[in-house]
């Protein structure tokens, strides 16, 4: 296959048809994420509802499931906080990584803001001026990795849960404190991040890397947990915070962990808190 | 556990409800966030506050249709709710619970009702637009008159000072200390 780039011209530009396909795919991925919760998350919430022993918690979980059906039926966003889009891109060898690609994604976000519609959430961090279209300086954040296809994964992140996330540079001798740090994050958060939550936990890497790992952990399916993740999840659930902080067995529906090697003298840990509306969707861009 | 049906205007029936009771609420309800509270305290309550219910919500309403109307965090209104209760308001609705001040202000007067956070589509399907006051505050901050049709809620704080959110958070702290001695 020929590389899809205009040679001899501005190499930051991509083929117009590809540009349009990326815009459309980004917009579609956002729309899908906003209206349809992934099947594994929905299944986990409905399992939690079956198991829940507190009547109040059970009715909260029933409201959530009912809300999911209404969103699908009415083609409306699941939650009014449509978040800010976090984008994960995989690029195959024959597509050049250039600014034209990123411009197309930003255009897709602007389009989604109008057609889904999304609440315009992106503001200047200091002046607080709203850009009105969910893009801005460094917004959306786009994470790129090599792949066999051109895929766009969208994770819309609401502020209620994001604001409860924490990072710690533990000492290597404190590795036994990881569960304490995770549980403490939920204790401080209480009902504010709209539990039941999913906790994305990053362990290792560097200061910047560990936060990325925690967020990437939220892309993992929640239908399986390894023994370490299950232990963390059980510990968090022992706090009894329950759906919306009203008490119950279900504070977290899953804890997912991603690791990276780190310096022998450090132990970074990050917890990215995700509300029950764990929205994500992937769309393959036709080439 | 049965679900108790409530309808606005609310009366003394709310005084017999207890924290943890599940209810449905029907009838007219008024939205108010931070700005609307400040405006109403200064310029007057634009509806009859007797037996009224206030919903902490900044809805998306387009062409007279409720698109999304989930609850916002009630704690932001902790210091702003006293005058409403003094004027006869019987119920505050939102998410996350309220502080000690409101818990005391509700004593013998009214209740706090919790609506499931994030349930924007569910809200949209059981609420209808009926009117708007203080429109100049903008869509999110204006006072919207909504007609509720059996909206599912939980009594979070009752009129005797029982508060689920407070109890749950105390228990979570105790549990955390026993797990990590």
Q: What is the pLDDT of residue A286?
A: 93
What is the torsion angle, in degrees rounded to the nearest 10, for the CA atoms of residue A172, residue A174, residue A179 and residue A181?
-100
Instruction: Please provide the DSSP assignment of B62-94 as one string.
Output: ETTEEEE----BGGGGTTT-HHHHHTT--EEEE
Structure tokens at B12: 């003394």
Nearest to A277 among B59, B118, B154 (CB): B118
Count of CB atoms within 10 A of residue B102's CB? 23
Supply the range of the domain harboring residue B41: 3-179
Q: State pTM to two decimals.
A: 0.93
- Between positions 76 and 105 of B, the ones with CB within 8 A of A are 95-97
Q: Tell me: pLDDT of A7 over 50.
A: no
Asked if B173 reaches chain A (Cβ–Cβ under 8 Å), the answer is yes
Q: What is the pLDDT of residues A251-263, one digit of tens each?
A: 999 999 999 999 9
Residue B128: give its domain's CATH number: 3.20.130.10
Per-residue model confidence as pLDDT tens digits over B21-68: 999 999 999 999 999 999 999 999 999 999 999 999 988 888 899 988
Q: Structural domain tally of chain B?
A: 1
Cβ neighbours of B76 in A, within 8 Å: none
- The average confidence (pLDDT) of chain A is 94
How confident is the model at residue A61, as a pLDDT?
Answer: 98
Query: Residues B123, B142: contact at Cβ < 8 Å?
Result: no
């Amino acid at each position: 296959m020929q590389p899809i780039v205009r040679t001899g011209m501005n190499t930051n530009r991509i083929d117009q048809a590809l540009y349009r396909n990326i815009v459309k795919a980004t917009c579609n991925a956002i729309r899908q994420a906003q209206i349809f919760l992934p099947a594994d998350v929905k299944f986990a919430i409905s399992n939690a509802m079956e198991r829940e022993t507190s009547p109040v918690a059970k009715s909260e979980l029933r409201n959530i499931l009912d809300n999911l059906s209404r969103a699908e039926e009415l083609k409306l966003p699941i939650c009014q906080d449509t978040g800010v889009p976090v984008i994960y891109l995989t690029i195959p060898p024959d597509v050049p990584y250039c600014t034209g690609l990123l411009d197309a994604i930003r255009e897709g976000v602007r389009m989604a803001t109008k057609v889904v519609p999304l609440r315009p959430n992106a503001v200047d961090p200091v002046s607080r001026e709203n850009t009105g279209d969910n893009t801005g300086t460094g917004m959306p954040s786009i994470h790129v990795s090599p792949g066999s296809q051109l895929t766009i994964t969208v994770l819309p992140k609401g502020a209620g849960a994001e604001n409860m996330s924490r990072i710690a540079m533990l000492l290597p001798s404190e590795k036994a404190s990881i569960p304490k740090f995770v549980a403490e994050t939920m204790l401080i958060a209480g009902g504010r991040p709209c539990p039941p939550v999913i906790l994305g936990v990053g362990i290792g890497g560097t200061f910047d890397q560990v936060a990325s790992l925690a967020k990437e952990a939220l892309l993992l399916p929640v239908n399986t947990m390894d023994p370490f993740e299950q232990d963390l999840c059980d510990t968090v659930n022992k706090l009894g915070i329950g759906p919306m902080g009203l008490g119950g067995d279900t504070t977290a529906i899953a804890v997912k962990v991603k690791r990276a090697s780190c310096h022998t003298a450090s132990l970074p840990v990050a917890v990215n808190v995700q509300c029950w509306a764990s929205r994500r969707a992937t769309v393959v861009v036709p080439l | 556990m049965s679900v108790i049906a409530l309808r606005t205007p609310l009366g003394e029936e709310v005084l017999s409800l207890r924290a943890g009771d599940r209810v449905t609420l029907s009838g007219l309800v008024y939205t108010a966030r931070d700005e609307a509270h400040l405006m109403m305290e200064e310029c007057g309550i634009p509806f009859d506050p007797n037996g009224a219910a206030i919903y902490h919500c900044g809805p998306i309403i387009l062409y007279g249709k409720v698109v999304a109307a989930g609850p916002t965090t009630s704690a932001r209104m902790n210091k702003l709710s006293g005058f409403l209760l003094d004027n006869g308001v019987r119920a505050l609705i939102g998410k996350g619970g309220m502080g000690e001040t409101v818990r005391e202000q509700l004593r013998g007067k009214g209740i706090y009702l919790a609506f499931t956070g994030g349930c924007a589509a569910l809200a949209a399907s059981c609420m209808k637009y009926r009117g708007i006051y203080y429109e100049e505050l903008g869509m999110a901050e204006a006072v919207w008159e909504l007609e509720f049709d059996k909206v599912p809620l939980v009594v979070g704080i009752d009129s005797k000072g029982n508060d689920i959110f407070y109890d749950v958070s105390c228990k979570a702290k105790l549990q955390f200390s026993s797990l990590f001695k």
